[in-house]
């Protein structure tokens, strides 16, 4: 063989080796959308520790409960919670039967897209809008309304279906945990019945593993058919101090893994990780990527950053820098 052929062959085999190594890495990497870094290492180290039978940190499968906030953690939440766009779209769809709304607040504000007037209607206005659009029908009817909306509605500025605005790295994380015998739950301030119709298809999380805010429902027999009628009455707010309460009510075990993105998730992360010497994990999605998603921080804690972010280091919580640590945002 002459030199040229030898060199070509060497080059060919080097290339082949590189290719095979890359393929092998991709095949074994459970979190391919995560850049190597502190967050990815923290997650995989935790999962390895609690699933290794010879480890002092081993946790039996039945206790591997992982809880995830939804808005801002599994999908985007800007410029407003997506459930608000559902409310707005419902008011627009319902106005034909309620012509009086055209000159009546807070409906007029919604119909005219007047966010200033909507804000002026305050919490009372918002609750009225939620009740008008979420109550008065059966649970089956409401599920159908949500299903149709989520299939057709589009985000107002990104012009994509909301179900495409979920975070690919988090979808991989859910899969990775389930592959390691974790049971994954959503624990969201959003409406439990607003999430259930679509989260199984999108996140692989079944309805019985969704915890959320709710209104009261009531059993009735209608024409021989048993139904649950949704009433314009608050039942439970699954936010802040409510999240550990909702977790206990629905799951009845303390999670060992929690992911959130704001002070709405603070108590859930405390409940999961503090006051024990056992290995626990809490992660925070930090919205640092104004180009690919949205860059923002709240100032909810005495005019400062979210307490969850402020306390992250001292609590040993993992803060995910979206811009640096996620290769892609959306699927």
- Give the binding site for a second copy (CB under 8 A): 62, 65, 139, 183, 192-193, 196, 200, 206-210, 214, 217-219, 221, 224-228, 235, 241-242, 244-245, 248-253, 267, 270-271, 274-275
3-state secondary structure of 106: coil
Nearer to a second copy, 134 or 183 (CB): 183
CA dihedral 29, 31, 33, 38 (to 10 degrees): -100
The Cα–Cα gap between 71 and 243 comes to: 14
The Cα–Cα gap between 40 and 172 comes to: 11
State the nearest-atom distance from the C-beta of 76 to a second copy, in Å: 24
Contact by Cβ (8 Å): 231, 255 = no
State the nearest-atom distance from the C-beta of 245 to a second copy, in Å: 6
The Cα–Cα gap between 151 and 326 comes to: 27
Residue 202 CB neighbours (<10 A)? 17
State the nearest-atom distance from the C-beta of 222 to a second copy, in Å: 8
Nearer to a second copy, 196 or 287 (CB): 196
Nearer to a second copy, 40 or 243 (CB): 243
Contact by Cβ (8 Å): 206, 197 = no
**78: phi then psi, degrees, rounded to nearest 5:** -120, 150
Nearer to a second copy, 208 or 299 (CB): 208
State the nearest-atom distance from the C-beta of 74 to a second copy, in Å: 17
What 8-state DSSP symbol labels residue 262?
A: S
Nearer to a second copy, 145 or 158 (CB): 145
Sheet with 183-191, strands from edge to edge, namely 225-236, 210-222, 183-191, 65-68, 257-260, 281-286, 318-321
Task: Indicate the pairing of strand 318-321 with strand 210-222.
Answer: unpaired
Widest distance between CA atoms in the chain: 90
Return the closest-CA partner of residue 268 out of 252, 286, 249, 245.
245
Nearer to a second copy, 110 or 284 (CB): 284
3-state secondary structure of 292: coil
């Amino acid at each position: 063989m002459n030199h040229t052929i030898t060199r070509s062959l060497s080059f060919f085999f080097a290339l082949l080796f590189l290719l095979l190594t890359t393929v092998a890495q991709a095949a074994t990497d459970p979190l391919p959308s995560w850049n190597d870094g502190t967050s990815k290492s923290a997650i995989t180290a935790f999962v390895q520790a609690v699933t290794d039978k010879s480890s002092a940190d081993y946790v039996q499968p039945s206790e591997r409960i992982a809880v995830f906030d939804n808005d801002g953690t599994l999908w985007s939440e800007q410029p407003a919670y997506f459930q608000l766009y559902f409310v707005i779209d419902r008011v627009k769809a319902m106005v034909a039967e309620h012509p009086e709304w055209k000159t009546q607040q807070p409906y007029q504000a919604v119909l005219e897209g007047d966010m200033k007037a909507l804000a002026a209607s305050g919490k009372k206005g918002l609750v009225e809008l939620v009740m008008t659009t979420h109550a008065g029908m059966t649970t089956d009817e409401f599920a159908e309304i949500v299903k149709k909306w989520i299939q057709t509605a589009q985000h107002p500025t990104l012009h994509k279906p909301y179900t495409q605005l979920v975070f690919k790295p988090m979808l991989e994380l859910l899969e990775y945990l389930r592959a390691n015998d974790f049971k994954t739950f959503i624990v969201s301030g959003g409406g439990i019945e607003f999430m259930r119709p679509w989260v199984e298809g999108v996140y692989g999380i079944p309805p019985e593993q969704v915890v959320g805010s709710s209104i009261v429902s009531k059993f009735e027999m209608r024409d021989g058919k048993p139904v649950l009628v949704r009433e314009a009455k608050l039942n439970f707010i699954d936010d802040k101090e409510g999240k550990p309460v909702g977790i206990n009510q629905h799951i009845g075990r303390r999670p060992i893994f929690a992911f959130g993105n704001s002070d709405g998730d603070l108590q859930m992360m405390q409940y999961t990780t503090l006051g024990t010497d056992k290995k626990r994990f809490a992660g925070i999605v930090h919205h640092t990527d104004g180009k690919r998603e949205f860059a923002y921080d709240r100032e909810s804690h005495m005019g400062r950053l979210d307490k969850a972010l402020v306390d992250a280091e001292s609590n040993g919580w993992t803060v995910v820098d979206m811009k640096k640590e996620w290769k892609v945002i959306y699927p």
